[in-house]
C-alpha cells in the first residue's frame, strides 16, 4: 500500500486550535495525484473525529503545494489544549500515513 509519505513532505503549524498542514509533493506526478486524492472530505475523514468545523484546502500550484486548515484538531490551541502535541507537529505524520492509489 502506498501512502502520502511515499510522495510528499508535510509541514505543520497552528493558529489557535486550527491545525495547518502544508503538503509538498516531490514530483509533478505526485502533485497531480495528491491534488486529486487529498480532497477536503478525504482529509477531514482521515482526521475525524477531531475536526470540529469545515476543513479548508488552498492550492499553491506555483510551489506545487496544498495547504489544509483543520479547525478544532488541536483541542483549544497551544496554551489551552490538554493534548501532548498542542502545536500539531506530530500530526503531520498522521497525514503521511494516509493511503493513496498506486497509480494515476
**Integer Cα distance of 66 and 31 in angstroms:** 9
Cis peptide before 49, with omega less than 30 degrees from 0? yes
pLDDT digit string, tens, across residues 65-88: 999 999 988 876 665 555 555 455
pTM for this model (two decimals): 0.88
Q: What is the largest CA-CA distance in the chain?
A: 42
Q: What is the pLDDT of residues 21-52, one digit of tens each?
A: 999 999 999 999 999 999 999 999 999 998 99
Amino acid at each position: 500500500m502506498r501512502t502520502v509519505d511515499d510522495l510528499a513532505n508535510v509541514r505543520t503549524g497552528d493558529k489557535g486550535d486550527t491545525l495547518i498542514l502544508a503538503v509538498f509533493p516531490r514530483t509533478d506526478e505526485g502533485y497531480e495525484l495528491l491534488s486529486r486524492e487529498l480532497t477536503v472530505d478525504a482529509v477531514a475523514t482521515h482526521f475525524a473525529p477531531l475536526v470540529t468545523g469545515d476543513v479548508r484546502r488552498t492550492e499553491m500550484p506555483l510551489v506545487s503545494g496544498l495547504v489544509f486548515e483543520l479547525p478544532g484538531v488541536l483541542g483549544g490551541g497551544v496554551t489551552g489544549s490538554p493534548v501532548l502535541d498542542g502545536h500539531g507537529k506530530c500530526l503531520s505524520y498522521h497525514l503521511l500515513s494516509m493511503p493513496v492509489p498506486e497509480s494515476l
